Amino acid sequence: MTSEISVEQVWNYLKDVKDPEVPVLTVVDLGIIRNVELNGTECLVTITPTYTGCPAMRVIENDIIERLSKEGLRTEVKTTLSPAWTTDWITQDGRDKLEGYGIAPPQDEVDKSVLFAEPTVVPCPLCKSKNTRLVSQFGSTACKAHYQCNDCKEPFDYFKCLK
């Protein structure tokens, strides 16, 4: 199975590795895969966590190793914190998957250091209304905030913009 595996093929295999917290996303969708190096059947995958201390990273590392071992690759996963992960690295496909799953994808946010800036408008992923309100900066995980739509009344998570 391992004859002539390319780096591009490894990237395609990594599209099978799901995020354990948001299972519609892959590690490629999230943009946490930074680099793939191949040397025969030895593979080095470099990842950047969505935030330092993310509890899902150990599971993701194990899932990467398990998935690539199915292709006969002995894999090491290396974590790098610099540069820090940003929501800009989420692919458009990943943003679409978040919205389809009922989580509002990151929006361009205003500079929080500006005292009188307009709050971020987070459209409802269900009815698409922009008439929403922040319920709590703390959602189901540290990378999400909790919102509610004022029109359809449904609560939803918002994947916070991290830059």
> Domain segments of the chain: what residues?
7-85, 92-159
What pLDDT does 109 receive? 61
Low-confidence residues of the chain: pLDDT under 70: 1-3, 109-118, 162-163
The answer to whether the beta carbons of residues 159 and 51 sit under 8 Å apart is no
What pLDDT does 153 receive? 94
What pLDDT does 2 receive? 45
What pLDDT does 163 receive? 62
What pLDDT does 53 receive? 81
Query: In this structure, which topology does domain 7-85 adopt according to CATH?
Result: GMP Synthetase; Chain A, domain 3 (3.30.300)
How far apart, in whole angstroms, are the C-alpha atoms of residue 80 and residue 65?
17
Give the count of beta carbons closer than 10 Å to the beta carbon of residue 107. Answer: 15
